[in-house]
């Protein structure tokens, strides 16, 4: 799929919803935030993951293999979005590390209300899709089925296995693994807070520098990504002066280098380059003129729904086309681009409703 399609279709999507908003006023309740540009950034990150998985799913229905796109641009589009999602989490919740108090009960409660309701709904939807593509035929005993579903409801803390003996469940929903790392970060925060209070009082930069050095050599890159986000919060808190023009220039150069020379960012060097680009956004505010647009911020508001539900939309659309329209192998490039745009629109509309009736309703109770 041509790279130009990504930018053109995103522009058409935002223009479409911009004019729909004039009728339905769905952005009216978009709330101001301390870092409004991050909401706009989330919009592009979540939608980029949709494009990434749309290409993977297209290849999957032809080859039967769920592999990264051959096109380097689309191959890195998903990982770099996940990487910056982790950094956003590290940045926003990093502020809690450097306060005088940490209310663990409130923090965990707010995270449960924010994440769990939609997650459980997505698991229910996942089970429904699995049974739909199996003609609602039960292929395992109820006890095993219940256990397997509960595994999928565990944020991947329990090992995932096929549901109803259908291994396609892993392709229907492929993003849950990131939530496990989010929860690990949340659980670690109170302990990191106590560590800082006891040994690094008023030495915030030293504290995060020590952690970064330690986890630079850690087996899993994801901890390092969260900490790179926390570093941004420390730089913000300490008011470390960085020339904005130089920072923005380095950010643009970094993103060009990533897309030019890498097909993943789950390595140390490209993750650091991604962090530089991320810092150029959160520490300079020079991208605010674009990212603070209300329509972008609205998509950022519903980005959790987009992220969590899109893969199921992608799979079921290709599945239905393959059965009722024509074989995916016979779809031409124009048809494919139309299908992907329909997937993006469908995911956006579904996410509008799940945000309003699930996410917002439960989180607002807190």
Two structure tokens written together for 53: 């998985």
Alpha helix positions (H), 64-103? 72-97
Two structure tokens written together for 122: 């997505």
What pLDDT score does 264 carry?
87
Question: Which one, of 324, 243, 239, 334, lies nearest residue 280 by Cα?
Answer: 243
Q: 270 and 264 in contact (C-beta within 8 Å)?
A: yes
Of 144-148, 192-196, 358-362, minimum mean pLDDT range: 358-362
**Does 241 have pLDDT greater than 60?**
yes
**CB contact set of 344 (below 8 Å; sequence gap of 6+):** 9, 13, 47, 50, 51, 54
**How far is Cα 26 from Cα 45, in angstroms, rounded to an integer?**
21
**Does 141 have pLDDT greater than 80?**
yes
Total number of domains in the chain: 1
**Does 108 have pLDDT greater than 90?**
yes
**Does 259 have pLDDT greater than 90?**
yes
Q: What is the pLDDT of residues 277-323, one digit of tens each?
A: 999 999 987 887 889 999 999 999 999 999 999 999 999 999 999 99
- Residue percentage of the chain with pLDDT more than 90: 87
**How far is Cα 264 from Cα 356, in angstroms, rounded to an integer?**
34
Cα dihedral sign, 96-282-118-58: negative
The SS3 call for residue 166 is: strand
What pLDDT score does 365 carry?
60
**How far is Cα 197 from Cα 186, in angstroms, rounded to an integer?**
17
Domain that holds residue 17: 3-364
Q: What is the pLDDT of residues 199-214, one digit of tens each?
A: 998 899 999 999 999 9
What helix, strand, coil percent values describe the chain, rounded to 5?
75, 0, 25
**Does 366 have pLDDT greater than 70?**
no
Residue 138: phi and psi, rounded to 5, are -80, 120
What pLDDT score does 32 carry?
77
What pLDDT score does 286 carry?
82
**How far is Cα 231 from Cα 218, in angstroms, rounded to an integer?**
17
**How far is Cα 249 from Cα 255, in angstroms, rounded to an integer?**
10
The enclosing H or E element of 62 equals helix 36-63
Q: What is the pLDDT of residues 333-357, one digit of tens each?
A: 999 999 999 999 999 999 999 999 9
Whose tokens are 């150069």? That residue is 253
**Does 362 have pLDDT greater than 90?**
no
Q: What is the pLDDT of residues 36-70, one digit of tens each?
A: 899 999 999 999 999 999 999 999 999 999 999 98
**Does 34 have pLDDT greater than 90?**
no
Of 47-56, 80-89, 139-148, 234-243, minimum mean pLDDT range: 234-243
């Amino acid at each position: 799929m041509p790279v130009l399609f990504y930018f053109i279709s995103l522009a058409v999507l935002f223009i479409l919803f911009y004019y729909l908003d004039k009728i339905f006023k769905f952005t009216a309740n978009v709330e101001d935030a301390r870092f409004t540009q991050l909401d706009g950034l989330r919009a592009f990150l979540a939608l980029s993951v949709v494009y990434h998985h749309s290409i993977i799913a297209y290849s999957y229905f032809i080859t039967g293999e769920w592999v990264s796109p051959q096109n380097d641009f689309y191959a890195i589009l998903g990982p770099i979005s996940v990487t910056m999602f982790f950094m956003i989490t590290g940045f926003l919740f990093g502020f809690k590390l450097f306060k005088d108090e940490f209310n663990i009960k409130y923090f965990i409660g707010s995270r449960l209300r924010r994440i769990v309701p939609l997650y459980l709904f997505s698991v229910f939807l996942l089970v429904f899709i699995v049974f739909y593509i199996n003609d609602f035929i039960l292929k395992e005993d109820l006890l095993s089925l219940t256990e397997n579903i509960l595994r999928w409801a565990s944020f991947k803390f329990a090992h995932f296995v096929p549901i109803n003996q259908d291994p396609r469940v892993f392709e229907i929903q492929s993003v849950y693994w990131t939530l496990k790392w989010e929860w690990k970060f949340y659980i670690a925060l109170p302990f990191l807070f106590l560590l800082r209070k006891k040994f690094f009082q008023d030495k915030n930069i030293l504290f995060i520098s020590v952690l970064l050095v330690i986890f630079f050599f850690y087996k899993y890159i994801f901890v390092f990504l969260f900490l790179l986000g926390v570093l941004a919060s420390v730089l913000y808190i300490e008011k470390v002066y960085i020339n904005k023009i130089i920072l923005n220039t380095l950010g643009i150069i970094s993103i060009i280098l990533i897309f030019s020379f890498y097909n993943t960012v789950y390595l140390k060097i490209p993750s650091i380059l991604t962090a530089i680009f991320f810092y150029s956004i959160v520490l300079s505010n020079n991208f605010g003129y674009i990212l603070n647009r209300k329509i972008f911020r609205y998509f950022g508001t519903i980005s959790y729904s987009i992220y969590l539900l899109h893969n199921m939309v992608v799979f079921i659309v290709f599945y239905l086309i393959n059965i009722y329209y024509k074989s995916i192998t016979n779809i031409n490039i124009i048809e494919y681009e139309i299908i992907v745009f329909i997937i993006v629109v469908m995911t956006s509309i579904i996410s509008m409703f799940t945000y309003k009736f699930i996410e917002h309703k439960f989180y607002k109770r807190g």
